[in-house]
Amino acid sequence: MNRIKLTKDFEISRVVHGHWRSAEWNLSPQALLQLATMSVELGVTTFDHADIYGNYTCEELFGNALKLNGALRHNIEIITKCGIKLRSERFPERKLKIYDYGYDHITSSVNNSLKNLGTDYIDLLLLHRPAPFFEPEAVARAFSDLKRDGKVRYFGVSNFNPDQFRMLSSYLDEKLVTNQVEISPFCLDHFDNGNIDFFLLERLKPMAWSPLAGGRLFSPRDEKGHRVEIALREVAAELNVDNPEKVVYAWLLKHPASIIPVAGTRQIERVRYAVDALNVNMSLEQWYKIYIASRGEDLP
């Protein structure tokens, strides 16, 4: 599989395997290791996590799988996120969900992630969501110390808009390397809020979470979903593609912003759909057919 450079000396796989819901997969450590190994064999070497996924359990599940084959860690890249504090049985002192971008929380979150994942370093740490109470100087100090101590190699954000990205960048010694946002044929928000143009301006390669729109593309719940599903199936037929999921991934992969889809699934066949999409030659008109179906109106 082609790989994609986020910096001159850091690259990840063109498709990322997401573990947002891995606690719901009910896989044994052996089965989870097998899934990760098969993903790597397909060329999907990058795995996306967050401290809070699965109510603070998903990182540990992945770490338990990696313990069964320590050598695999050297062949993969691990992404994780921090910044959200959930109410949880693990933290009975918390009265409500908040965001915390103070120095202590960022560094302690990373230390917990390292322990849970059973690794000495995280390849890429993302701030999970922008916050109304944000401490950029504290973030900058935490990033600097984590980098110096070899605990995190690179840093990015998730769900930030261009102004929020620029604001944080102005405090940092090193560039943020990506922004993970929701992009799919159903969710076009980042075509409207300036992010897609910003990615192109900054040569920043974004990741796309929920590329299949949480099932809304092929189990549509509204008129928009039905329109998009029809367009996807029509384009699949035009391209002689056996599964319309491949068309979704091809739609994302075609865009010049170099969108990196995060495929969150326990089924290796569905990871393969994303990989197969790299070989789908979608035309510009077919791309717009899907885009216009989502918009619900022709271009002006």
| The two structure tokens encoding residue 276 | 């197969």
The pLDDT, as a whole number, for residue 181 is 98
The pLDDT, as a whole number, for residue 90 is 84
Interacting residues of 181 by C-beta distance below 8 A, sequence separation 6+: 158, 159, 160, 189, 190, 195, 206, 207, 208, 209
Q: Which of 53, 56, 101, 154 is catalytic?
A: 53
The pLDDT, as a whole number, for residue 19 is 98
Query: Over the stretch 152-196, which tens digit does the pLDDT of each residue have?
Result: 999 999 999 999 999 999 999 999 999 999 999 999 999 999 999
Beta-bridge mates of residue 180: 158, 207
Q: Are 227 and 282 in contact (CB under 8 A)?
A: no
The pLDDT, as a whole number, for residue 88 is 85
Q: How far apart are CA 258 and CA 10, in angstroms?
A: 15
Residue type, 26: N
Looking at the chain, the whole-number percentage of residues with pLDDT higher than 90 is 96
- What domains can be seen in the chain, in order of their start residue? 3-218+245-282 (3.20.20.100)
Q: Are 136 and 171 in contact (CB under 8 A)?
A: yes
Q: What pLDDT tens digit does each residue of the chain (300 aa) get? A: 789 999 999 999 999 999 999 999 999 999 999 999 999 999 999 999 999 999 999 999 999 999 999 999 999 999 999 999 999 888 889 999 999 999 999 999 999 999 999 999 999 999 999 999 999 999 999 999 999 999 999 999 999 999 999 999 999 999 999 999 999 999 999 999 999 999 999 999 999 999 999 989 999 989 999 999 999 999 999 999 999 999 999 999 999 999 999 999 999 999 999 999 999 999 999 999 999 999 999 999
The pLDDT, as a whole number, for residue 241 is 97
E strand or H helix at 124: strand 122-127
The pLDDT, as a whole number, for residue 258 is 98
Q: How far apart are CA 178 and CA 175, in angstroms?
A: 9
Instruction: Examine the residue annotation and report whether 101 is marked as an active-site residue of this protein.
Output: no
